[in-house]
Amino acid sequence: MAVSGRSEGPDARARRKSLRLHGMVARDLGILIVSGRYKPGDLLDGEIEASDRLNVSRTAYREAVRILAAKGLVEVRPKIGTRISPREKWHLLDPDVLSWIFKYEPDEDLLESLFELRKIVEPAAAELAAKRRSADQVERMREALETMAEHTLASEIGRVADQDFHTALLEATANPFLVSLTSSVAAAVAWTTIFKQRRQPLQRDPIPDHRRVYEAIADADPSAARQAMADLVDMALLDTTMAPKGKPGKRSRAA
Amino acid sequence: MAVSGRSEGPDARARRKSLRLHGMVARDLGILIVSGRYKPGDLLDGEIEASDRLNVSRTAYREAVRILAAKGLVEVRPKIGTRISPREKWHLLDPDVLSWIFKYEPDEDLLESLFELRKIVEPAAAELAAKRRSADQVERMREALETMAEHTLASEIGRVADQDFHTALLEATANPFLVSLTSSVAAAVAWTTIFKQRRQPLQRDPIPDHRRVYEAIADADPSAARQAMADLVDMALLDTTMAPKGKPGKRSRAA
DNA sequence: TCCTCGATATACTCAGACAAATAGAGCCGC
DNA sequence: GCGGCTCTATTTGTCTGAGTATATCGAGGA
């Protein structure tokens, strides 16, 4: 099929992943929205015009819009059209929305807010895990920790082990909402960390921090687990923000 | 168009809300999934068969599936079909998913987990609000509190004022993720509370609890705000669980 | 035993037509 | 002049059927 003369056709967009066409359109539009290129209240073009401009069928465009609507980014009504929703309606903790925010436009203030949330939730999760963990979960954490120590976080194996460690910890909380919340956030943070570390490889050794968390949970010591995890999150924050060395001060927070 | 002889047509389903056809199908399927009628790993019928059985077009069915996929409930791949995702992949904090879970199948263990999350997040949010609130936000909380006191939570006006109170509080945290998370959870909890209160109207007066939260935030006293909000959440938990009076004991938590 | 490759079933994309819903203009009655 | 009603035009919603792309599964060969 001949790609018409308009900007870039579907082929040019197929470069990334194994997303289907509607998935690509949703991702592209989603990034435009969360990055502020389209602003809340803006009205998108009609389906025919919009799909035509993207060189996709109306079907594919509509499915993309459904995805965005399911994530709270847009609101679409008959006779009105597709309107960008106010930011309060966005599902900011949706994994895709998080990835669109942090994979392409790592806003510093937002990153700080995300770590503020981590600092609230993850120590509490570690505390619960210390109370409820089973012997099997402790064993899985121990194995993951060993693998992490052997290979480092520089290798794929090491990063998978790191994920296993945190997955086992979350499962130990026996709270599905904590699992869902924390794994979404952790994935988003992982991307920004990898992004930053391209310029400045990780200098600190993360193993001791993890080991202290592990030992507290293995010992069934909730308050120690809370403290150890709080330290771990603090260290992780440093890993993502210390890249621009000259700016140790905190940014002001807009109202 | 004649509705064929199969179970119920779109007309019968149009009873609820102003959802479009694809929205209704998504909701119906979503409820079937979160309620366990379809289990993780199950493979749904092919598009043609499934849409035929629901008496809708493939287009409408596909858009519904896109919505469910966007919320992590299903995974759909060419040549394979539509498969129910494992529960760890569900976006449990998505407002729609939460509503499907709690509006039709209020699982007691899950409700307890949700309040566990509230108990972690909301006191911390109140603490942040006490540190960062603006004069305007305090004023809005005061007005909402007055309206709540005048009309009770039994009236629509009172419930809206309650929402305004918590919205202003969340805005004061200046953390968009906390806003998104807490408002989703609060909405879900509100439904279950209303559901329960049909049988047993609220006996406790919620105003004093709210007033203590307000005063702590107005006084810029973070630790008092944290404590007051913790008490408020505890009270809210009692409101939802005390309906079956004879069972004060805690349920065991499955592994 | 493993790899390559082709057949096949399924979702994906497209195009065009018709239906439904509603914002907004225009009309009517007061 | 103004509030409320109807009517229309425009946009999204739904349907159909055809053709394409993709990944599994099985057959054949190294």
**Which residues from A are below 8 Å from B when comparing CB atoms?**
22, 59, 62-63, 66-67, 69-72, 87-88, 90-96, 110, 113-114, 116-117, 120-121, 124, 128, 132, 134, 174-181, 183-184, 253-255
Nearest nt (C1') from B18 Cα: C21
Domain B107-241: CATH architecture, name and number where available: Up-down Bundle (1.20)
Binary contact (A96, B70; C-beta < 8 A): yes
User: Which fold, B10-89?
Assistant: Arc Repressor Mutant, subunit A (1.10.10)
Per-residue pLDDT of chain A (255 residues; tens, 9 = 90+): 332 333 334 444 444 567 899 999 999 999 999 999 999 999 999 999 999 999 999 999 999 999 999 999 999 999 999 999 999 999 999 999 999 999 887 788 999 999 999 999 999 999 999 999 999 999 999 999 999 999 887 787 888 899 999 999 999 999 999 999 999 999 998 888 777 766 666 667 889 999 999 999 999 999 999 999 999 999 988 887 755 444 444 444 443
Of B237, B201, B218, nearest to B122 by C-alpha is B237
Which residue of chain B comes nearest to A97, CA vs CA? B70
Binary contact (B255, A134; C-beta < 8 A): yes
> Residue B24: pLDDT band by 50, 70, 90 thresholds?
very high
Separation between Cα atoms, residue A47 and residue A59, nearest integer Å: 9
Per-residue pLDDT for B75 more than 60? yes
Query: Which chain B residues contact residue A63 at CB under 8 A?
Result: 62-63, 66
B201 contact to strand C (CB, 7 A limit):
no
Q: Which range is least confidently modeled, A240-244, B1-5, B60-64? A: B1-5
Q: What is the pLDDT of residues B233-255, one digit of tens each?
A: 999 888 877 554 444 444 444 43
- B109: tokens are 């263990």
B17 contact to strand D (CB, 7 A limit):
no
Per-residue pLDDT for B196 more than 80? no
* First-residue to last-residue Cα distance in chain A: 51
Region at A202 (left for phi over 0; alpha for psi -120 to 50; beta for the rest): beta
| CATH pick for A108-241 out of 3.40.50.1110, 1.20.1250.20, 1.20.120.530, 3.30.1050.10 | 1.20.120.530
Binary contact (A176, B92; C-beta < 8 A): yes
Average pLDDT in chain B: 86
- Domain ranges for chain A, please list them: 10-89, 108-241
Instruction: Report residue A35: phi and psi, to 5°.
Output: -85, -5
Query: Which chain A residues contact residue B67 at CB under 8 A?
Result: 66-67, 69-70
Binary contact (B177, A134; C-beta < 8 A): no
Q: Shortest CB distance from A120 goes to which of B67, B72, B124?
A: B124
With residue B77 as reference, give the H or E element that holds it.
strand B74-77
DSSP A78-144: TTTEEEEPPGGGS-TTSHHHHHHHHHH---HHHHHHHHHHHHHHHHHHHHHHHHH--HHHHHHHHHH
